[in-house]
Amino acid sequence: MALTENRAVLDWIDEMAAMTQPDAIVWIDGSEAQLEALRSQACATGELEKLNQEKLPGCYLHRTAVNDVARVEDRTFICCEKQEDAGPTNNWMAPAEMYARLKPLYTGAMKGRTMYVIPYSMGVVGSPFAKYGIELTDSIYVVLNMAIMTRVGQSVLDALGDSPDYVKGLHAKAELDPERRYIVHFPQDNTIMSVNSGYGGNVLLGKKCFALRIASCLGRDEGWMAEHMLILGIQNPAGEVRYLAAAFPSACGKTNLAMLIPPAHYQEKGWKVWCVGDDIAWLRVGEDGRLWAMNPEYGFFGVAPGTNAKSNPNALATTRRGTIFTNVVHNLDDDTVWWEGLDKNPPEHAVDWKGNPWNGTVSAEKGAHPNSRFTAPAKNCPCISPEFESPRGVPISAIVFGGRRARTAPLVYQSRDWEHGVFVGSIMASETTAAATGAVGVVRRDPMAMLPFCGYHMADYWQHWLDMGKVLGDKAPKIFNVNWFRTDDEGRFLWPGFGDNLRVLEWIMKRCFHEADAVETPIGYEPKAEDIDLEGSGVDRATLEGLLKLDTAMWLDEVNAIRAFYDKFGAKLPETLSQELSALEARLH
């Protein structure tokens, strides 16, 4: 039974059902009773396994197909009318050609299966930020994950009313054939199509597909920004909470920063840190002319390996109820889960992520997949912000970019102004670690951490940032760059990271409110060493001075590398960024 009379919704569902031919159609109303019935059904078929309900109440385990464990960037397409609008960093195909390619893959793909209709909201339902979507899927796993990651059910359809303004999403598992796997975005049609995958990053269409790739296009057209950023509130001893948004490429500690626990001596003084979001920020200009941010998601889709009581106790606590674990180890001794980096006690009687018997004390193979995941409700997080459900979002004072550089970038620097800040974001880079590939120290550019997620030409995206700066004027947030990953000659990290990063964030916030000084350098403004609180950090003044030091020759090499990177974008590269690069080179000389 349909939960809406919206013709734009019903006609589209009829069309998709005629193509995919499901045996039944079930509307997701968001009720706990319906979700519980689906959990029981998934356990009966083996799609989910119920875990120890005393130790992990409401928690379940799922395994994907072994050929379906991560996002597939080479099978991800942006299908706009003109190839030049997709740009050199996206895969493109003409929309008509892609629809023709997808149709046979979807035809009859849901025979013998049920189509679930998931109405969902990105953002607080009814808020100025909210955008609505409907995902059709033949996977209960997708339904249950979307119910954690987004706000689902009748309230979304009520808010949508008769409007045709929603994002359409069609997902079919089909045969899970990696050769015919496609994750496709049609920005002009507000449509996302995913086929032959069951992995969360490819099939939870509210996540990167809607909240970044489609939303970045909506933001460009409507004058706001969809960014791959955490949102953090920092409460100082005076009780003021100041907010920042921060973008990092993968493996740079983004989730750890989002759920940061202050060092002991900061806690004693009354500092607190509040998590508004760990992954995605939608930013728009508020009535007061400032930039306001909202987390469009309702849960965390986090990487399990490496998450532990030391690295991220808040993330670990978040997973302790109402969570779906994917591709981790099933510990048969107490019917819980385990992964590499959780603790030093791998279970002896267990099942690995592939479903095979596994003894962690003798097996050479990893028990959990390196990209194994937890999908956990955000409200479980011990440091979730009181503003998490605020319909107006939070005001942003600072935007922080970061990467993993062993030598080049200092611990922290501030951009000279908004235009220079956009330049700093556009040149963001990380060096590969041994974990990622065989080659160590290869520099990978990932502007604003958006390279895989921008739904249009990256140079046009930079222009949109520059245009937003003109709208914000003197109310624009200050822009900073951080690097927690400077190393010594032996490759040891010089900065402790984790909770100690608050020492740097304190200076950043003071700069935003004109409470701290800075030293001008060729790349931007750096702190005076005495303005970073080192008490209890284990870092001495000489080490900090080393962390802030610039190697001019290295930066001149960097200028050449940036120029080569910019060349990819041709005539569309904003002139402002070319000028910023030339100005940097002149200052270095």
| CATH code (residue 23) | 3.40.449.10
Which of residues 180, 205, 223 is at a domain's end? 223
Percent above pLDDT 90 for the chain: 97
Token readout for 25 is 């159609």
Does the pLDDT value for residue 344 go beyond 90?
yes
Q: With respect to residue 66, please indicate whether it lies within any of the assigned structural domains.
A: no
Annotated active-site residue 80? The verdict is: no
CB–CB of 177/196 below 8 Å? yes
Q: Do 129 and 139 fall into the same domain? A: yes
If we measure between CA atoms, which residue out of 51, 43, 46 comes closest to residue 322?
51
Residues 149-186 pLDDT 10s? 999 999 999 999 999 999 999 999 999 999 999 999 99
Q: Do 289 and 329 fall into the same domain? A: no
Q: With respect to residue 35, please indicate whether it lies within any of the assigned structural domains.
A: yes
Mean pLDDT of the chain: 97
What's the CATH code of the domain at 331?
A: 2.170.8.10
Residue 450, amino acid: M
Residue 248, amino acid: F
What is the model's pLDDT at position 438? 53
Q: With respect to residue 522, please indicate whether it lies within any of the assigned structural domains.
A: yes
Residues 286-298 pLDDT 10s? 999 999 999 999 9
Greater confidence (438 vs 477) lies with: 477
Residues 97-131 pLDDT 10s? 999 999 999 999 999 999 999 999 999 999 999 99
Q: Do 290 and 305 fall into the same domain? A: no
Catalytic residue of the set 252, 381, 383, 454: 252
Pairing of strands 24-27, 151-152: unpaired
**Least confident interval from 43-47, 247-251, 467-471, 483-487:** 247-251
CB atoms within 10 A of CB 197: 29
Q: Do 376 and 398 fall into the same domain? A: no
Q: With respect to residue 518, please indicate whether it lies within any of the assigned structural domains.
A: yes
Q: Is 575 exposed, middle or buried (0-12, 13-18, 19+ CB in 10 A)?
A: exposed
Residue 9 phi, psi (nearest 5): -75, -50
Which of residues 380, 409, 425 is at a domain's end? 380
Averaged pLDDT, 184-193: 98
Containing domain of residue 523, as a range?
A: 227-298+386-588
CB–CB of 443/429 below 8 Å? yes
Residue 221, amino acid: D
Q: With respect to residue 62, please indicate whether it lies within any of the assigned structural domains.
A: no
Q: Do 342 and 474 fall into the same domain? A: no
Q: Do 155 and 254 fall into the same domain? A: no
What is the model's pLDDT at position 250? 84
What is the model's pLDDT at position 201? 95
Which of residues 223, 244, 259 is at a domain's end? 223
Q: Do 460 and 553 fall into the same domain? A: yes
Residues 363-413 pLDDT 10s? 999 999 999 999 999 999 999 999 999 999 999 999 999 999 999 999 999
CB–CB of 424/481 below 8 Å? yes
What would the DSSP string read from start to end of 363-416? -SS-SS-TT-EEEEEGGG-TTB-TTTT-TT-EEEEEEEEE---SSSS-SEEE-S
Q: With respect to residue 577, please indicate whether it lies within any of the assigned structural domains.
A: yes
Does the pLDDT value for residue 434 go beyond 60?
no
Residue 541, amino acid: R
Q: Do 92 and 211 fall into the same domain? A: yes
Q: Do 152 and 173 fall into the same domain? A: yes
What is the model's pLDDT at position 433? 67
Q: Do 290 and 313 fall into the same domain? A: no
What's the CATH code of the domain at 478?
A: 3.90.228.20
How many C-alpha atoms does 442 have within 13 Å on its Cβ side? 9
> In Å, what is the CA distance from 503 to each residue of 400, 499, 509, 524, 535?
14, 8, 10, 19, 10
Q: With respect to residue 88, please indicate whether it lies within any of the assigned structural domains.
A: yes
Q: Do 445 and 337 fall into the same domain? A: no
Q: Do 270 and 333 fall into the same domain? A: no
Measured torsion, CA atoms of residues 293, 165, 455, 128, in degrees rounded to the nearest 10:
-10
Number of domains in the chain: 3
User: What is the DSSP code (8-state) at residue 159?
Assistant: H
Does the pLDDT value for residue 146 go beyond 90?
yes
How many C-alpha atoms does 544 have within 13 Å on its Cβ side? 19
Q: Is 90 exposed, middle or buried (0-12, 13-18, 19+ CB in 10 A)?
A: buried
Does the pLDDT value for residue 436 go beyond 60?
no
| Residue stretches of the annotated binding site | 71, 199-201, 208, 228, 250-256, 279, 371-373, 404, 498-501
What is the model's pLDDT at position 199? 97
What is the model's pLDDT at position 251? 81
Integer distance in angstroms from the first to the last C-alpha of the chain?
Answer: 70
| Residue stretches of the annotated binding site for Mn(2+) | 208, 228, 279
What is the model's pLDDT at position 492? 95
Q: With respect to residue 537, please indicate whether it lies within any of the assigned structural domains.
A: yes
